[in-house]
Amino acid sequence: MTALAVSLAALSILLAAWSYLVYPPLVLRLAARARHAGPAAGLGSPSVEVVISAADEERVIGARVSNLLAQEAPGRLSITVGCDGSADGTAAAARAAGDGRVRVVEFPERRGKASVLNDLVRASSADLIVFTDANTAFEPGAVRALAAAFADPDVGAACGRLRFETAPGARGTPEAVYWDRETALKEAEGALGVCLGANGGIYAARRELVTPLPPDTTSMDDFLIPVRVARSGRRVVFAGNAVAREDAARDAGAEAARRFRIGIGAGQVLRRERWLWFARSRPRLSFAFLSRKAARWLAPLAGLAAALAALGSPALRPAGAAVLALAALLLAASRWTPSGGGSVGRLYYFGVINVALALGVAAGLAGYARPVWTRTARS
């Protein structure tokens, strides 16, 4: 067990080092050299449909619909709100805020976001589908900026820029610090045409390229839809002028719950989308996936697995027990201790979200699915 524990620990360190230290400057350098000059003669005035899967969003859906109605599109703009078994007045509030461009579809049973999006996309006749969330707000010009990316016929999907905001007086989390770095990587990958993992609050795709999601998909529509578009041979780009705002998670505990949910979806991707592991057909796509997604999903899981293996080694048992105790303490503390500022606060937050992510990945790899969830508590 000693050799297994040491091997897993080394793997965890190598994956983390590659993804967090080596890959970022490498992909930024590759992006600086990339000069894509595709023809700008694609869709002239595409019709755009914005789709939202909403469950018990009565408090925010009216403002969200009004925000979308203020957007402009190069062609016809429509908005569809799919109410996923809502027990409150989400549907009524959406209708009250809307006009003839707004369609509200009520699903009597709660089935999860993937099933709702599948139905909404299937019923759409628009050229472009814009995906967003009920708790997101688009800045002026966001839809038009997303649509502009599709002037290049090689572009099949586009990711917008998402900015997290902390409410006045709220302590929030260091998520914005990490998110700025992630956005820089998305932008670099977009220059290479492989912007993997769009921002769920603002991304778009050509309707004919959107394939149905597995009904039990957990929190991964913004990864699966763009990556499958990329598999078809189209480019997935970053539209930096398409900006959306969203409230940051209220505290580390709320973010840990979200990371666990993401981890479940990540485990599903690792188990199901095996084609991503083979670089021969799409080398850039696989390189980006293995470096920024798979490595970050598997590094904390390998670390916890190393600690578990260490329990079977007399020499390493104390270290393994200490690591597992620290992981349990971080998760327990996240429920009642908000994430503070400074280096210590960022380190604590980084530990919490990675432990939660590792547990989620393990659950997803084991076959656990959670297509229905409750909203993350926001500031």
Residue 379's pLDDT band (cuts 50, 70, 90): very low
- How does 42-56 read in b/e, with b if 16+ C-beta sit within 10 Å? bbeebbbbbbbbbbb
**Three-state SS at 128:** strand
Using a cut of 0.85, tell me whether the model's pTM lies above it. yes
- Mean pLDDT (whole number) for 250-261: 83
pLDDT digits (tens, 9 = 90+) for 299-324: 999 999 999 999 999 999 999 999 99
Q: Where are the domains of the chain?
A: 48-249
* Average pLDDT for the chain: 90
What class, spelled out in words, does domain 48-249 have in CATH?
alpha beta
**Is residue 195 over pLDDT 90?**
yes
**Cα separation, 365 vs 272, whole angstroms:** 9
**Is residue 280 over pLDDT 90?**
no
- Mean pLDDT (whole number) for 153-177: 79
In 3D space, the residue among 38, 201, 217 whose CA is nearest the CA of residue 133 turns out to be 201
**Cα separation, 190 vs 204, whole angstroms:** 13
- Mean pLDDT (whole number) for 156-185: 79
In 3D space, the residue among 21, 97, 107, 55 whose CA is nearest the CA of residue 299 turns out to be 21
- Mean pLDDT (whole number) for 264-269: 95
Cα 372-207-62 angle, rounded to 5 deg: 55
Residues contacting residue 59 through CB under 8 Å, at least 6 positions apart: none
Question: Among the listed ranges 50-59, 88-97, 157-166, 171-180, which one has the minimum average pLDDT value?
Answer: 171-180
Q: What is the pLDDT of residue 167?
A: 61
Residue 69's pLDDT band (cuts 50, 70, 90): very high
In 3D space, the residue among 207, 244, 238 whose CA is nearest the CA of residue 129 turns out to be 207
